[in-house]
Amino acid sequence: MITAIVRFPIPTETTLKTAFNLFQGSAPKYRGIPGLVRKYYLWDEGTAGGVYLWESRALAEAFYDADWREMIAERYGAEPEISYFESPVVVDNAHEEVIVDAAE
C-alpha cells in the first residue's frame, strides 16, 4: 500500500471552521475512488492537505492528475505538494486488525 501526504499553503486567516466546511463539502467526491482505502483531511494555521492510503502508487498517481491539481489550486489558492511513502503494515484499531501488504 501507499500513503500519499498532500500539503498546500492556505491563507493564515483560514480558520479550522472554514477549513472544516470546505473539507466536508469535498468529502463525498472521494467516496468510491478506485484504490483509495482511506483519506484524512489536515489543517493547521497556514497549511491544509490530506493523508491518503492507496492500494497502489499507480492508482494514486492516476488520481492526482492535472484536473485534480487544478481543482485544489482553485479551491484553496495554491498548488499541492505530494509525497509518497510505502506503507507495508497498517494498524487499524477501529477494526481491530493489522493490514499487511507484502513488500515486492
CATH architecture, domain 2-100: 2-Layer Sandwich (3.30)
Instruction: Report domain extents, the chain.
Output: 2-100
Please write the tens of the pLDDT for every residue from 55-99.
Answer: 999 999 999 999 999 999 998 889 999 999 999 999 999 999 999
DSSP E strands in the chain: the ranges are 2-9, 36-44, 47-54, 81-86, 89-92, 97-100
Please write the tens of the pLDDT for every residue from 34-58.
Answer: 999 999 999 999 999 999 999 999 9
The pTM (predicted TM-score) of the whole model is 0.90
